[in-house]
Copies of this chain bind each other. A is one copy, B any other.
Amino acid sequence: MDPAAAGNLSSSLEDYLEAIFNLTADGEVARSKDIADSLKVAKSSVTGAIKTLAEKKLVNHKPYGYVTLTPAGRAAAQNVARKHDIIKLFFVNILGVDDTLAQDAACKAEHVLGPDIIRRLLDFTEFVTTRNGSGYNLAGEFRKFSRNSNTQTDSMEAAQNG
């Protein structure tokens, strides 16, 4: 897991890596077409990204063949995927965000939150969940609290949502 290569990845390249990771999770190989579909980009964009990732030794690829992650690529992808899961879990389980929205937001936030904040977010979610087991349902109480304080601002927020 070469830190020099995986350390400075753009959001875009992290997305490609994550997509390959998800596509190959069940032992399948990733094909260019599937990557394009899952990221909703053109096939040629995938070719370009794969080329860049291959130069960084994060994926294995020979022309017209499928794509697999190198150990370094797998580590980097796993790191992104882990961030994604932690963020989404916090959004859904603690904040009570709708699953789809949480998914979308996690896809973006995963590229901007560093390891310190991610660790704390994970710990916090675990902390609240643990306390929850020991009698008091903090997330549930927050749900009630939240419902009361937000009724008339929703339409204005919906208009801003992107």
- Residue numbers of A with Cβ under 8 A of B are 3, 7-8, 79, 91, 94-98, 101-102, 105, 108-109, 111-117, 119-121, 123-124, 127, 138, 141-142, 145-146, 149-150, 153, 157-162
A125 to B69, CA, bound (A): 40
Query: 10 smallest A-B Cβ distances: which pairs?
Result: A108-B112, A115-B157, A95-B120, A127-B145, A123-B146, A115-B160, A114-B161, A127-B142, A105-B117, A109-B112
Interface of A is mostly: helix
Contact A162 B8 (CB under 8 A): yes
Total identical chains: 2
Nearest CB in chain B to that of A102: its residue: B117
